[in-house]
Amino acid sequence: MSHLEMHQFICRSDNYGLLVHDHQSGATASVDAPDASVIESELKRRGWQLTHIFTTHHHTDHVEGNLALREQFGSIIVGPKLEAEKIPGIRKQVEGGDTFTWAGREVKVFACPGHTKGHIAYLIKSEFSLFAADTVFSLGCGRVFEGTFEEMFHSVNQFRTLSPSTYLYCGHEYTEANGRFAMTVEPGNRALQQRVGAVTKLRQDGKMTCPTTIGEELKTNPFLRCDSPEIRRNLNMEAATDAEVFAELRKRKDNFK
Ligand SMILES: [Fe+2]
């Protein structure tokens, strides 16, 4: 079986668009649909037909293109059961723990409450590819809007056990700002220093910083490193639980300029 082709691009201002294409069957999925016209032109340029949309959560900047793309391509929209009434055009409802077959591959669904109540992530294990949208970002994580910090801690940290070589595809290009915050809580982390340097260079060159990998994030992302002695020392939270450290990090990031 040949590998899936991943085509990633920026749309709106900082949303990632992502098309996943199987050359064998011709199946193509868009991970979320931030902007129908940009996605349509990316599809046309490649001669791909959009067979599916994998929706992660109900925020407008992730679902706004659903109906126009479905109209154009007859795409089947897969999305979170817990937010089904807020996902335009949803046809197949899935929830954490579900698996389904797409392009001959198993797709696993993870529940990620926190950013929204019903946020889900998709993993295509055979491709080592995780589509985490607004749950885990490179060097950061999503804001907690609808769930609790405790829920978000579990949603983010459930991915620590995935293979380190798993590619992490995110919903937004926020890495540079995330890196600035990460350096305030773990400035002595060599891997983080190097990543921040690499990210600065990528952004200066107008390049995207994702996908990253789970392994890279485990070494650098403070929200996956709540057990780091340096972070705990800097927060003055040496005796706290990892979830408490996570909550403090998230609150500080909310107020970080
Ligand atoms: Fe969102």
Residues 7, 21: contact at Cβ < 8 Å? yes
CA of 23 to the centre of ligand 1 (A): 30
CA of 212 to the centre of ligand 1 (A): 19
* Two tokens, residue 139: 């060097």
CA of 120 to the centre of ligand 1 (A): 11
CA of 62 to the centre of ligand 1 (A): 7
- What is this structure's pTM? 0.98
Confidence class for position 148, pLDDT limits 50, 70, 90: very high
For strands 129-133 and 167-170, give the pairing. Answer: parallel
What is the rounded CA–CA span in Å between residue 44 and residue 129?
24
**How far does the chain reach from its first CA to its final CA, in angstroms?**
47
| Tens digits of residue pLDDT in 181-212 | 999 999 999 999 999 999 999 999 999 999 99
**Mean pLDDT of all residues in the chain?**
98
